[in-house]
A and B are shown apart, each in its own frame.
Chain A
Amino acid sequence: MTTALSRQRLLLALPVVAASTALAVSGCTASNGSGNSASPTGSAGPETTAFFGQAKGPVDSIKWALPYGEPNTVNPPNTAFYSSALIADQMCEPLQRLTQDYKVVPNLADVTTPNDTTLVYTLKPGIKFWDGSPLTAEDVKWSLDYNRAPTTVVGFLLQNVKSVEVTGTDKVTVTLSKPDNLVKTELATFVGAIQQKKFSEAAGKELGSSSKGVMCTGPLKFGSWTPGQSITLEKNTDYWDTSRKVNAGKVEFSFTTDSAAIAQALTAGELDGGYEIPASVIPKLSKASTGQLVFGAPTQLGLGLAAFTYDGALKSVDVRKALMMAIDREAIAKVVYNGAATANYSSFNKDSWDNANWSDAARTILGKYYDANAAEWSTWGKGQALQDAKTLVQKSGYSGMPITIATLAGDATLSQVAQLVQAEAKSIGLNVVIKPLQPTDYSNASVDPAARKGLDMGFAVSFNGAPSVIEPMSFSVLPGSFYNYTNYSNPQVTDLVTKAWAASDDTVAATELAQALPLFESDYGATVLVQIDEIAFVNKRLSGLMTSFAYLNNPALAFVGAS
């Protein structure tokens, strides 16, 4: 059972999640998920799907769980946390949006790219804010400038935006300082959420707080927020997108963080559902008769193990490689995540490029790289691989120096993984010490080098905001980047990744990445051990829920209806 303190985790950083194995099935392409394919894992396991069921009618009110507790704000560019993003995304929309399979499609606007440093957004006509006033180009310019300011949590993702200008009554042009193929995708997430200029300026620093809320165009509008108690959103009866039916009349969010309490409330039907259900309560919820668990794919969640420093036990690349070879990724997926994860054979989430945002050709190129990895890495953690790892350890001259791995105190899932890895390491002669860190120390460890003193590695669950592998690579592979703790610097890798980031043709990007990834991985410094599916629970009276991880950038709850 995770403690409440571990809850306020920055999404893009170090939180906890769970996932599922089974067949990852992508739902259909229609935006409202009309009809979907779901391949049950086999016998009675939860299904894995991008979109669950189909809404057959309106539903008066829905009570939804927030396992990560009360948000601190609902102001979109500051909502890089599970709870706040979920709520903000029901209300505020980006110019383009992500489908359940991560395809970028028009939303408030259509976009053209006359060259690789220019994006021209043309607003659709007739879109109104909840107060009836029309959405204008001025509102769009204001919002994008607001979101990219360095004072927001997500501002850094738009740092290559040079300017945002109104270039027509319904046109806004975004100019980049250099080619950056992530910007267009980031703007289809909450990073590009559009708010009303007038209301937002008047609200000032209270924008997104419990007293003010926000003013947006989305299918659910801000109803009320009683601090400590609940947040209620209400149906926007004049929602502009008539092709998608708003079924939910009212959604009320509960702030309980205790996983046992949430499981009990779901089982008793007191709560109608929730995302981010902890893996530890999967067994209990599998028996619930009031509804069912659903595992969501594609996903951007992954369990990572990363080195913090090579000055110590991890100095030798042979030791690092041996450690990687000793870990059985499949076992972690099955045992620790109760089947809600898949072994990942890459240093980054497979779904970060294996999604509809990438062309089939690009996916094929990267697929070849992945399959080559999988052929070797799937043998790790057992049999001959363990013998080879042991030999590697001996060859390296490893002296028995402890390898200290940090994990989050109170987090049952990470603790289990840590213990598994420790045992596996021991079997090949490596001495792994687990160091649980209190939540504030754990957050500090990702920011402050002093806080990482004495630590060799760390476990973390994190996710990508945009469905592109370039995003996490830009954080850890380039010199001087946020997560590049070991100061990894390989000029060839840097060159390849920089080119991939600037490429407007994703097959070019894929080719570059397919070379960069193996080079980076030959350092054995960081990896994503398993890919974790989104775990949700839905009461049997509801249907039509987006369950892939794209839910976090969509007003998924507005379209849930009666089953």
Chain B
Amino acid sequence: MASDPTRVRWVRRGRSHLTRWVIVPLVTILAASLVLYLALSLAPGDPVVAILGDKATAAQYAALRHQLGLDQPVLIRYVHWLGGAVHGDFGDSLLYRQSVASLLGPRIGITLSIAFYAAVIFVTAGVLLGILGGMVRRLSAPVAAVSGIGVAVPVFVAIQVLVAVFAVNLGWFPVLGAGDGGLDRLHHLTLPAITLAIGWSAYIAQVTRSAVAEQRRSPHVETARGRGLDSAWVFRHHILRNAAIPIVTVSALAVAGMFAGAVVVEYAFGLGGLGSLLVSSVGSKDYNVVLAIFLILLIVFVVVTTVIDLVQVWLDPRLRERQGP
């Protein structure tokens, strides 16, 4: 039994799966959190000054520092934090004097809503535009031009233009706030989601256009057409299926990158999401809040890249074999 070659191969593949899908991501998260903690401690600024203001005496600062445990060595503080984090306890905010979990709760929903809403927009718009540009020869140049502009427009410019036109002038959308749930929230988040999606849709459109165009010109597609296969079938199974790999990869990375763009949008529209909290917490060196948000973003990123890998493996059978011993 010990020398059964099939069994040995299965066990080794199992171990490498474990390493690849679980251990590597975990180690990445751990290492990144340590680096962040150290980086934050080296950054300028003193949390006790942010809390007490600048007229406290040196003794007052020292007392508060001691009360908050900030006078301990950085690594000890990190270990304490890690111990709590592993149990789901992310500690309290230095500035707000309440648990990090209670601060993040309402905000996560908003950031996720914007990101998801924007993702739906840019995947739909970008992919459709790209397919049009890739499949219809006459539209290829126009789509390339439009997507070029879309990629180049900075987010804050897009915000100014869209708000001036659609919110202030036409009054179709509100200028700020996240609304009160349900349809009202959808209404409030539309302009923010669109501004966030513009750049990425353009990018997706470009990638889709060139992937689709490349597939359309490929030998296997010509062969399939030459053999008289239905063009819709050819489109779905030959062109799209193969173009899907780069499109999926870029889309997934865009979703992860969306969280970064969400910060600008959150500020401009007064949406209380994770992004704005992250920036203000870094400014006041509110360690626990910064780390918790960072951890969320990190986990999102790791999950997304893992999902990309899995989807790619599913889409491209050739990748499955490479995992073998």
List residues of chain A with CB under 8 Å of any chain B CB: 4-5, 7-8, 10, 12-14, 69-70, 72-73, 80, 150-151, 153, 155-156, 205-206, 208-211, 226-230, 254-258, 260-261, 264-265, 267-268, 270-271, 438-441, 443-444, 446-448, 451, 475, 482
Top-9 shortest CB links A-B: A228-B272, A256-B270, A440-B45, A10-B53, A446-B54, A228-B107, A265-B175, A72-B95, A209-B98
- Minimal Cβ-Cβ distance residue in A for B179: A229
Give the complex CA separation of A7 and B59 in angstroms. 27
CB–CB B106/A153 < 8 A:
no
CB–CB B102/A258 < 8 A:
no
Chain B 301-323 against A: per-residue CB contact (8 Å), 1 yes, 0 no? 00000000000000000000000
CB–CB B273/A267 < 8 A:
no
CB–CB B43/A5 < 8 A:
no
CB–CB A254/B177 < 8 A:
yes
CB–CB B54/A13 < 8 A:
yes
Q: List 27 A-B contacts (CB under 8 A).
A: A7-B280, A69-B280, A72-B95, A73-B96, A80-B53, A150-B60, A153-B52, A153-B56, A156-B60, A208-B97, A210-B98, A210-B102, A211-B98, A228-B103, A228-B107, A229-B106, A229-B272, A255-B272, A260-B160, A265-B176, A270-B175, A270-B176, A440-B285, A444-B49, A447-B49, A448-B46, A482-B55
CB–CB B57/A156 < 8 A:
yes
Additional A-B contact list (4), CB under 8 Å, known A4-B267, A69-B280, A447-B46: A73-B96, A256-B270, A261-B175, A264-B176
Assuming the A-B contacts A72-B96, A443-B50, are A8 and B103 also in contact, with contact meaning beta carbons closer than 8 angstroms in the complex? Answer: no
Q: Which residues of A contact B57 (CB under 8 A)?
A: 150, 156
Residue with the greatest number of chain B CB neighbours at <10 A, chosen from A73, A228, A254, A439: A228
- Minimal Cβ-Cβ distance residue in B for A75: B97
* Other-chain residue from A210, A261, A441 in contact with B270 (beta carbon distance below 8 A): A261
* Other-chain residue from B53, B97, B106, B285 in contact with A206 (beta carbon distance below 8 A): B97
CB–CB A440/B44 < 8 A:
yes
- How big is chain B's contact interface, by range? 35 or more
- Minimal Cβ-Cβ distance residue in B for A265: B175
CB–CB B96/A257 < 8 A:
no
* Other-chain residue from B98, B106, B268 in contact with A261 (beta carbon distance below 8 A): B268
Give the complex CA separation of A205 and B96 in angstroms. 10
Chain B 55-70 against A: per-residue CB contact (8 Å), 1 yes, 0 no? 1110110011000000
Q: Which residues of B contact A206 (CB under 8 A)?
A: 97-98
Chain B 77-105 against A: per-residue CB contact (8 Å), 1 yes, 0 no? 00000000000000000011110001101
Report the minimal beta-carbon distance from A18 to chain B, rounded to whole angstroms: 20
CB–CB B44/A444 < 8 A:
yes
CB–CB B283/A5 < 8 A:
yes
Give the complex CA separation of A4 and B44 in angstroms. 18
Give the complex CA separation of A244 and B268 in angstroms. 38
Residue with the greatest number of chain A CB neighbours at <10 A, chosen from B64, B96, B102, B285: B96
